[in-house]
Amino acid sequence: MNSIIKPLRVSVVSDVHEKETLERSIRLNIARAIVSKDPLNKERITYNPKIKGVYIIYLISTGHIYIGSTNDLYSRRNQHIFKLTRGISSNKNLQKSYVNVDNIIFIIYPTKTRELAFNLEQKFLDCYVNDPRLLNIATDARLAAKGVYPNEETRAKFKAAMKIRTSNPEHGANISRHVKKRFLNQNEKQKQSDRIKNAWANPVTRIKMLAANKRKGKPVTIDDVIYPSIIDASKVHHLDSTIIIRRLRSLKYPSWRYLNETT
C-alpha cells in the first residue's frame, strides 16, 4: 500500500514571495499525488472523522485551479465529482474546463478549525485573483456565491415551479398544519412573545413597528375598490398584509395604491 503523503505546510511569508511559495506547495502536492497514484486523496480523506480544510481542484490538461474550503473534505470532494460528471456544477468555469475524473487532482490542506480554513483559502484566492488559471467566480472566501446569478431560463423555471407549488392546496394545507403545530407548542409561543417584547424594548425597532402599524391603517385602493385599511384588504383578498404592502410598492401592480397617492 502506498504510504500516506502529507501535504506541504503553508506558512505565513512576505507578500513578495507568497505566491511563489503557494504555487510551489501546489506543484509539490501535484507531484506527490501522481507518485502515490492517489490523485483524489482517497487514502487521506475519510468520512469519519470529518476533516476541515482547504482544497484545490487542479485540472491536469489546462493547469486551471479551483480553490475552496469546507467543514468536510470527504463530502465536498464527492459533491464536486458527482456534479462535474453530470454536467451540473454550480461553477460554470469549472464545468466548462472539466474533461473527466482522470484529469483532476484534488489537493488538500487540513486545518484544525473552519476559521483557519477560511483564512488559508483567502490567502490562496488573493494570490491568484488576477491569474487567468483561477476558475473561482467569487474571490471572497466567506461569500462563495457572490457574482453567481441565474440566467433568464433558470429564473423562469424557478418562477414556474414556485407558482405551481404555491397554487397547490395540499402545499398550503401542509404549511398551515406546520404553523398551527408551532404555535400550539407552549415553548414556541413563549419564544415568540419574548422576541416581540425584546423588539419593543429597542427604541429603533419600536419606531419601525409603530410606523408599520400606522401604514397598515392607511386606506388603499385595489382595482378601483377602496378599502379602509390594508388589514381590510388582506381579509377580502385572502393575502397576508406583508404581501399587500409589497404589491402596493411594486410597479407590477399599478392598480394597487395607497388612496392618498391616487387623489
The rounded distance, in Å, linking the Cα atoms of 258 and 249 is 9
| 173 is a domain residue | no
* Confidence at 14, pLDDT banded by 50, 70, 90: very low
Q: Answer whether the bond into residue 7 is a cis peptide, omega within 30°.
A: no
Number of domains in the chain: 2
* 123 shares a domain with 22: yes
Q: Which of 90, 107, 128 is the last residue of a domain?
A: 128
* 225 shares a domain with 121: no
In this structure, the number of other CB atoms found within 10 A of the CB of residue 77 comes to 20
Alpha helices by DSSP H, listed for 42-130, are 73-86, 92-97, 114-128
* Confidence at 19, pLDDT banded by 50, 70, 90: confident
The rounded distance, in Å, linking the Cα atoms of 167 and 180 is 20
Provide mean pLDDT across the span 177-190: 77
Q: Is pLDDT of 74 > 50?
A: yes
214 φ, ψ to 5°? Answer: -65, -40
> pTM for this structure?
0.54
Provide mean pLDDT across the span 233-260: 86
Q: Is pLDDT of 146 > 70?
A: no
193's grid cell: 412573545
We report the CATH number of the domain holding residue 27 as: 3.40.1440.10
Print the domain residue range for 250: 217-263
Residue 165 vs residue 90, higher pLDDT:
90
Cα separations (Å) of 38 from 12, 32, 178, 256?
28, 9, 48, 63
| 36 is a domain residue | yes
* Confidence at 64, pLDDT banded by 50, 70, 90: very high
Longest dimension (CA), the chain: 83
Name the one residue in this structure whose C-alpha cell is 503553508.
10
Q: Which of 128, 158, 179 is the last residue of a domain?
A: 128
| 124 is a domain residue | yes
For 96-120, b where at least 16 C-beta lie within 10 A, e where not — what string?
Answer: ebbeeeeebbbbbbbbeeeebbbeb
| 102 is a domain residue | yes
Sign of CA dihedral 225, 229, 230, 232: negative
Provide mean pLDDT across the span 166-191: 78
Read off the pLDDT of residues 154-170 as tens digits, 9 standing for 90 and up: 778 777 877 777 777 88
Q: Which of 128, 152, 176 is the last residue of a domain?
A: 128
